[in-house]
Copies of this chain bind each other. A is one copy, B any other.
Amino acid sequence: MQEIERKFLVTSLAGISEAYAEAKIAQGYLNRNPERTVRVRIKNDKGYLTIKGKSDATGTTRFEWEKEIQLHEAEALLLLCEKGVIEKTRYAIQKGTHVFELDVFEGANKGLVVAEIELTTADENFEKPSWLGEEVTHDERYYNAYLSEKPFTEW
């Protein structure tokens, strides 16, 4: 139920040529508060409801609960969400024993590309590809809930 994730800006789209999976994602928020984020997501043809708690003191570990829900339920719940649905394409890229999830944002967040890596411990080592830029794990502006309210093109 705890996830450790680190997030980085991406300086080029070169990594996409190595991606082994790709998914279209649309997501909205029933609550954007980082202490109790409630997210509705459609990923390709599946729906998900995800609830996240606030980060711990290190900013890398967050309580997370997720359930798959029916597509038509996700579509109905998306209509209840705050204005500002996030649209992005997610690419999975294997690097050594780790997987980077590279999110290429569209719509109001077009131009933003970030990569996330899930780790077992906060200080775990991992291979850093050449396209990996500045770490933004601790920068709340890059939370998707924040991007839904204050999109990248309006910064």
Complex formed: what's the CA distance from A30 to B79 in Å? 18
**Size bracket, chain A contacts:** 20 to 34
- Pick from B36, B65, B69: contact of A81, CB below 8 A: B36
Contact mask for chain A residues 115-152; partner B; CB cutoff 8 A; 1 contact, 0 none: 00000000000000000000000000000000000000
Given known contacts A30-B51, A36-B80, A36-B81, A67 and B65 CB-to-CB distance under 8 angstroms: no
Residues from chain B with Cβ under 8 Å of A30 in the complex: 30-31, 36, 38, 51
Residues from chain B with Cβ under 8 Å of A81 in the complex: 36
Q: Does A76 lie at the interface of the complex (its beta carbon under 8 Å from any beta carbon of B)?
A: yes
Complex formed: what's the CA distance from A108 to B84 in Å? 36
Q: Does A18 lie at the interface of the complex (its beta carbon under 8 Å from any beta carbon of B)?
A: no
Nearest CB of B to A144, in Å? 17
Residues from chain B with Cβ under 8 Å of A80 in the complex: 35-36, 51, 53, 63
Complex formed: what's the CA distance from A49 to B65 in Å? 12
Smallest Cβ-Cβ distance to A73: which chain B residue: B65
Smallest Cβ-Cβ distance to A40: which chain B residue: B51
Q: Does A112 lie at the interface of the complex (its beta carbon under 8 Å from any beta carbon of B)?
A: no
Q: Does A77 lie at the interface of the complex (its beta carbon under 8 Å from any beta carbon of B)?
A: yes
Interface centre among A36, A49, A81 (most CB of B within 10 A): A36
